[in-house]
């Protein structure tokens, strides 16, 4: 629940006309923040409302020192 309170607290400063955040959005955002290791979370806004949450995760591979390029 800390995420919800932080988001709502951040939105309260000077934005009294914002609609409340949907419980589904908060659940998905919490899930994304718990699972993502490297990447980005993007919120898509239409007409002042959050319409979509996009999660881009990066997976990087370190070169194997035992394999030499040909």
Q: What is the pLDDT of residue 13?
A: 57
Beta bridge mates, 45:
50
Model confidence pLDDT, tens digit, residues 55-64:
999 988 888 7
Please report, to the nearest 10 degrees, the dihedral formed by the alpha carbons of residues 29, 30, 34, 36 taken in order.
Answer: 0
Beta bridge mates, 57:
39
Is the pTM value of this prediction over 0.85? Answer: no
Residue among 3, 42, 39 nearest 21 (CA): 3
Say if CB 7 and CB 17 are below 8 A apart. no
Model confidence pLDDT, tens digit, residues 17-57:
667 889 999 999 999 999 999 999 999 999 988 999 999 99
């Amino acid at each position: 629940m800390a995420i919800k309170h932080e988001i709502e607290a951040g939105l309260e400063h000077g934005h009294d006309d914002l609609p409340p955040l949907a419980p589904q959005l908060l659940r998905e955002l919490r899930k994304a923040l718990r699972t993502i290791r490297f990447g980005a979370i993007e919120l898509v806004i239409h007409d002042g409302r959050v319409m979509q949450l996009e999660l881009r995760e990066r997976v990087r591979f370190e070169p194997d020192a035992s394999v030499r390029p040909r």
